């Protein structure tokens, strides 16, 4: 990754590992059973049952319900970076031997390549330009309205990044300072991320669908010098005034003693001209008036591999969002390598990930992973169903997209529409599909595979998390057959284990809690300002392991099947929402006395938000009040967190010590009334009957 050692003064460890990962010549394994048995003996348990997988490949496995196998075509496998299980095992083993340390049972401190100096912006841009890709398209941009498009080559992108880096330095942003970015999917969003990285500033992108209160909460936590936003954005047919939201957030932050020096606002002329935008002289600055005046070159700030790169807030099981902190070197190696192998990336590919840069997927697989590989990336501002359900395939044909990465919720929502929206487009350019964010149900998998991919494009169902930085369990699309709905096997070097409630590893066919046994380069290093919460949440539940918060089962062939969150986190359309966050928004409503939120199955969103609400004494239920409660959540968190159902609850089922029994609420919400279990230990058992009676009110 580091083209010129002298210039970047990179230390050997980073380069060594990259050499092994990216440059190593792999001997094509021949079909040799004996060698396979040898690898099985040496292989770490987490990577699955090799002999069973081998039997499948050799056609010796008996068909069973789990053997709904979808093989990569010969043509695909022949050209793939990893084209057989043998090759995968060889690579896994070689990396494994490099250094794999398990987690200590005491204090957790993860470091990779400490002492190495590098810069991720340099590796995304300068290095690609120096190696002959200056005129290659880095970003194809497609606006909300069809017909609006733009593009930047790698050298044009570098110019823009340098101008913004210079501007940020000029207003006093230094290495280690935080910058909050609250932008929609304009090209300026990856530009802003890269500009921060270039000067060693720590970006914290806040999804532009979050409310002013959520934004304020994040600003108060990370205390940025600068906030970068735009005046407005069009989403579908609607105009949203982002600058007003930022103003409200800054006012709220100021009340809490946090003031931000500069609010840099991009004039999104397509949504709305600058006239009418509220303006505070001194603090507010139009991007277009200042940034383009700065030089198009900017010295790189070489940072330690362990210096922070970004903070990204995510939901946990308490009301307070967690500031997940990623550092530079390990994250860089991991996002680059996972991107290359899980999508079988080749330089001729055009890659499109539909995620927003406000989430981790947009960090690792819109900006960093692809650009580290010198890829041409599609950035899409709009929504997949505007103006109609064919929009994605229109974009695929327009830019000749070869790798298309999206979320199951989008697949399910498009599946409900006529297939004609898909089939009227060619989609011939597609060669790899990807899925992320939640388990993809087999019927959605098949529709994606058969209808979108014309039964010829493998699907990489990538399981990972904000915390993991990159893919952890993922198919390598040419290497082994897939099973619809299974994320298959771990990425090189990752050792997933399934443990029981006592934290004991379970071997073979099983179900339990998914943990990771060893450290990997992309792992987050801490929760910003709260290392104790980091250790308590992730490393204490099962001593010696990183606990993912997910349930998982493993079948007889070693394939992994993710079954969803086992903590108080709901996954709505691939967005992670803490039940406690929604509850605290609801109880802030003056007429709400108590609230309990659970997730329920939802046909399109995966999970929906189901809220049990107890009103203050004497307050009658009404449709108006329901709307006002939902609006409170929208205003406090964002529209994506609005409850799907409010269930009026005169009381909530609690234990005698006052703990809400969510297990019972989940059963009531999903109408599994014959599975309520023992309710006799409740403080007031009759509330369960009351709740059942009120289910349809
Ligand atoms: O429950 C898992 C689910 O999404 C959670 C992580 O959410 P977040 O940090 O917002 O990151 C989303 C994008 C990586 C996980 O704990 N999840 C993610 N990918 C999958 C998945 N569940 C099943 N299959 C997946 N491929």
**Average pLDDT, integer, range 533-554:** 96
Question: What is the distance between the alpha carbons of residues 74 and 456, in angstroms, rounded to a whole number?
Answer: 11
| Residue 271 predicted with pLDDT over 80 | no
pLDDT at 14: 37
Peptide bond into 387 cis (omega under 30): yes
**Average pLDDT, integer, range 277-282:** 84
Question: What is the distance between the alpha carbons of residues 85 and 488, in angstroms, rounded to a whole number?
Answer: 12
Instruction: Decide: 371 and 125 in contact? Cβ < 8 Å.
Output: yes
pLDDT at 20: 35
Contacts of 103 (CB under 8 A, 6+ apart): 517, 518, 519, 539, 544, 545, 546
Give the C-alpha distances (Å, rounded to integers) separating 368 from 81, 335, 663: 20, 7, 40
Q: Which residues line ligand 1 (CB under 6 A)?
A: 314, 360-361, 436-439, 461-466, 487, 548-550, 562, 564-565, 571, 576
Q: In whole angstroms, what separates CA 46 from the centre of its chain?
A: 23
> Which of 68, 159, 567, 644 is the catalytic position?
567
- The more confident residue out of 643 and 316 is 643
Backbone dihedral region for residue 53 (phi beyond 0: left; psi -120 to 50: alpha; all else: beta) = alpha
Residue pLDDT, tens place only, 233-262? 988 788 999 999 999 999 999 999 999 999
Instruction: Decide: 208 and 360 in contact? Cβ < 8 Å.
Output: no
DSSP assignment of 179-232: EEEE--SSTHHHHHHHHHHHTT-EEEE--TTB-HHHHHHHHHHH--SEEEEES-
Question: What is the distance between the alpha carbons of residues 186 and 515, in angstroms, rounded to a whole number?
Answer: 37
Closest CA to 600 of 644, 538, 541, 545: 644
Buried b (16+ CB within 10 A) or exposed e, 171-198: eebeeebbbbbbbbbbbbbbbbbbbbbb
Instruction: Decide: 608 and 600 in contact? Cβ < 8 Å.
Output: yes
- The more confident residue out of 400 and 62 is 400
| Residue 313 predicted with pLDDT over 60 | yes
Nearest residue by C-alpha to atom 18 in ligand 1: 437
The per-residue pLDDT of the chain, averaged, comes to: 89
Instruction: Decide: 415 and 447 in contact? Cβ < 8 Å.
Output: yes
| Residue 370 predicted with pLDDT over 70 | yes
pLDDT at 278: 87
Which SS3 state, helix, strand or coil, does residue 324 take? strand
Which SS3 state, helix, strand or coil, does residue 4 take? coil
What's the gap in Å between 112 CA and the centre of ligand 1?
24
Tokens of 103: 């987690």
- Which residue among 438, 559, 581 is best mutated to probe the pocket of ligand 1, counting the most ligand atoms within 8 A of its Cβ? 438
Position 93 confidence tier, pLDDT thresholds 50, 70, 90: confident
Tokens of 274: 């600058």
- Which residue among 338, 433, 464, 485 is best mutated to probe the pocket of ligand 1, counting the most ligand atoms within 8 A of its Cβ? 464
**Average pLDDT, integer, range 47-65:** 51
Ligand 1 atom nearest 562 alpha carbon:
23
What's the gap in Å between 347 CA and the centre of ligand 1?
28
What's the gap in Å between 673 CA and the centre of ligand 1?
29
Question: What is the distance between the alpha carbons of residues 688 and 665, in angstroms, rounded to a whole number?
Answer: 9
606-615 and 645-648 beta bridge pairing: parallel
pLDDT-above-70 percentage for the chain: 89
Nearest residue by C-alpha to atom 25 in ligand 1: 463
Position 365 confidence tier, pLDDT thresholds 50, 70, 90: very high
Closest CA to 96 of 21, 34, 13, 27: 21
Question: What is the distance between the alpha carbons of residues 641 and 570, in angstroms, rounded to a whole number?
Answer: 10
Residue pLDDT, tens place only, 12-38? 333 334 333 332 222 222 232 222 222
pLDDT at 319: 75
In this structure, the number of other CB atoms found within 10 A of the CB of residue 225 comes to 17
Which of 88-97, 332-341, 501-510 is predicted with the least confidence, judged by mean pLDDT? 88-97
**Average pLDDT, integer, range 565-586:** 93
Q: Is 567 a catalytic residue?
A: yes
pLDDT at 681: 81
What's the gap in Å between 433 CA and the centre of ligand 1?
17
pLDDT at 105: 74
pLDDT at 403: 98
pLDDT at 99: 56
Backbone dihedral region for residue 492 (phi beyond 0: left; psi -120 to 50: alpha; all else: beta) = beta
pLDDT at 10: 36
H/E segment holding residue 158: helix 154-170
pLDDT at 19: 34
Tokens of 52: 């069973």
pLDDT at 541: 96
Ligand 1 atom nearest 473 alpha carbon:
26
Tokens of 150: 């733009």
In this structure, the number of other CB atoms found within 10 A of the CB of residue 552 comes to 25
- Which residue among 461, 562, 572 is best mutated to probe the pocket of ligand 1, counting the most ligand atoms within 8 A of its Cβ? 562
Ligand 1 atom nearest 576 alpha carbon:
10
Question: What is the distance between the alpha carbons of residues 407 and 427, in angstroms, rounded to a whole number?
Answer: 18
Which of 29-38, 216-225, 374-383, 575-584 is predicted with the least confidence, judged by mean pLDDT? 29-38
| Residue 514 predicted with pLDDT over 50 | yes
Ligand 1 atom nearest 564 alpha carbon:
1
Instruction: Decide: 449 and 432 in contact? Cβ < 8 Å.
Output: no
Closest CA to 162 of 117, 199, 203: 199
* Distance in angstroms between the alpha carbons of the first and the last residue of the chain: 60
Position 52 confidence tier, pLDDT thresholds 50, 70, 90: low
Which SS3 state, helix, strand or coil, does residue 353 take? strand
Question: What is the distance between the alpha carbons of residues 677 and 696, in angstroms, rounded to a whole number?
Answer: 22
- Which residue among 209, 571, 599 is best mutated to probe the pocket of ligand 1, counting the most ligand atoms within 8 A of its Cβ? 571
**Average pLDDT, integer, range 88-99:** 76
Question: What is the distance between the alpha carbons of residues 368 and 334, in angstroms, rounded to a whole number?
Answer: 10
Position 485 confidence tier, pLDDT thresholds 50, 70, 90: very high
What's the gap in Å between 84 CA and the centre of ligand 1?
26
| Residue 490 predicted with pLDDT over 80 | yes
Compute the radius of gyration of the chain from its Cα atoms: 25
pLDDT at 98: 57
Closest CA to 309 of 434, 159, 204: 204
Tokens of 180: 């909050």
* Class of residue 3 by CB neighbours under 10 A (exposed 0-12, middle 13-18, buried 19+): middle
What's the gap in Å between 552 CA and the centre of ligand 1?
12
Question: What is the distance between the alpha carbons of residues 458 and 455, in angstroms, rounded to a whole number?
Answer: 8
Which of 24-28, 84-88, 137-141, 668-672 is predicted with the least confidence, judged by mean pLDDT? 24-28
ipTM > 0.90, yes or no: yes
pLDDT at 67: 66
Nearest residue by C-alpha to atom 10 in ligand 1: 576
Question: What is the distance between the alpha carbons of residues 356 and 655, in angstroms, rounded to a whole number?
Answer: 41
Three-class SS string for 224-256? CCEEEEECCEEECCEEECHHHHHHHHHHHHHHC
- The more confident residue out of 281 and 572 is 572
Q: What are the residues facing 560 on neighbouring strands? A: 488, 554
Ligand 1 atom nearest 361 alpha carbon:
13
Nearest residue by C-alpha to atom 4 in ligand 1: 437
What's the gap in Å between 361 CA and the centre of ligand 1?
10
């Amino acid at each position: 990754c580091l083209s010129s050692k002298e210039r970047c003064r990179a230390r050997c460890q980073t380069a060594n590992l990259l050499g092994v990962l990216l440059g190593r010549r792999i001997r094509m394994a021949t079909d040799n059973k004996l060698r396979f048995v040898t690898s099985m003996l040496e292989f770490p348990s987490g990577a699955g049952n090799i002999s069973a997988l081998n039997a499948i490949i050799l056609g010796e496995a008996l068909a069973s319900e789990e053997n709904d196998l979808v093989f990569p075509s010969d043509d695909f496998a022949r050209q793939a970076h990893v084209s057989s299980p043998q090759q995968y095992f060889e690579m896994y083993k070689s990396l494994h031997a490099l250094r794999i340390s398990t987690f200590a049972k005491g204090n957790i401190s993860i470091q990779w390549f400490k002492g190495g100096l590098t810069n991720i912006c340099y590796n995304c841009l300068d290095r690609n330009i120096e190696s002959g890709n200056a005129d290659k398209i880095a970003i194809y941009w497609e606006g909300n309205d069809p017909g609006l498009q733009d593009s930047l080559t790698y050298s044009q992108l570098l110019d823009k990044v340098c101008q913004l880096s210079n501007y940020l330095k000029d207003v006093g942003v230094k290495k280690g300072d935080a910058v909050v970015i609250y932008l929609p999917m304009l090209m300026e969003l990856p530009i802003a991320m890269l500009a921060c990285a270039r000067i060693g500033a720590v970006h914290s992108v806040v999804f532009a669908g979050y409310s002013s209160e959520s934004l304020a909460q994040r600003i108060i936590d990370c205390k940025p010098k600068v906030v970068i936003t735009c005046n407005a954005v069009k989403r579908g047919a609607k105009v949203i005034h982002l600058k007003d939201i930022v103003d409200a957030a800054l006012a709220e932050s100021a009340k809490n003693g946090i003031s931000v020096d500069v609010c840099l606002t991009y004039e999104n002329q397509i949504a709305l001209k600058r006239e009418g935008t509220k303006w505070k002289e001194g603090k507010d600055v139009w991007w277009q008036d200042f940034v383009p005046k700065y030089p198009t070159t900017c010295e790189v700030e070489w940072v330690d591999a362990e210096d922070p790169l970004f903070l990204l807030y995510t939901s946990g099981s308490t009301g307070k969002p967690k500031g997940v902190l990623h550092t530079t070197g390990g994250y860089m190696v991991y996002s680059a390598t996972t991107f290359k192998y899980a999508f079988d990336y080749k330089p001729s590919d055009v890659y499109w990930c539909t995620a927003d840069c406000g989430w981790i997927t947009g960090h690792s697989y819109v900006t960093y992973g692809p650009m580290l590989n010198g890829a041409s990336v599609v950035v899409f501002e709009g929504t997949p169903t505007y103006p109609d359900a064919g929009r994605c395939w229109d974009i695929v044909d327009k830019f000749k997209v070869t790798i298309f990465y999206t979320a199951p919720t989008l697949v399910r929502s498009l599946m409900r529409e006529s297939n004609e929206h898909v089939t009227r487009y060619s989609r011939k350019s597609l060669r790899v599909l990807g899925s992320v964010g939640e388990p993809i149900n087999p019927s959605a998998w098949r529709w994606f595979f058969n209808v979108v991919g014309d039964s010829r494009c493998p699907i990489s169902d990538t399981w990972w998390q904000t915390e993991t930085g990159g893919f952890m369990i993922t198919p390598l699309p040419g290497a082994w057959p897939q099973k619809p709905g299974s994320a298959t096997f771990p990425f090189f070097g990752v050792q997933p284990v399934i443990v029981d409630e006592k934290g004991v590893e379970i071997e073979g066919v099983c179900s339990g809690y998914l943990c990771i046994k060893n450290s990997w380069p992309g792992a987050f290093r801490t929760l910003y300002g709260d290392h104790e919460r980091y250790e308590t949440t992730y490393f204490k539940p099962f001593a010696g392991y990183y606990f993912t918060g997910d349930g998982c089962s493993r079948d007889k062939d070693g394939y992994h099947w993710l079954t969803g969150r086992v903590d108080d986190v709901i996954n709505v359309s691939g967005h992670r929402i803490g039940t406690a966050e929604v509850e605290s928004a609801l109880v802030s409503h003056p007429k709400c006395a108590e609230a309990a939120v659970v997730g329920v199955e939802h046909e399109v969103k995966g999970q929906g938000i189901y809220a049990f609400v107890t009103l203050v004494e004497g307050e009658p239920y009404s449709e108006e009040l329901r709307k006002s409660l939902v609006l409170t959540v929208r205003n406090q968190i964002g529209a994506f967190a609005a409850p799907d159902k409010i269930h009026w609850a005169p009381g909530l089922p609690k234990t005698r010590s006052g703990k809400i029994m969510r297990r019972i609420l989940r059963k009531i919400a999903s109408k599994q009334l014959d599975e309520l279990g023992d309710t006799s230990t409740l403080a007031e058992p009759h509330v369960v009957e009351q709740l059942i009676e009120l289910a349809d009110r």
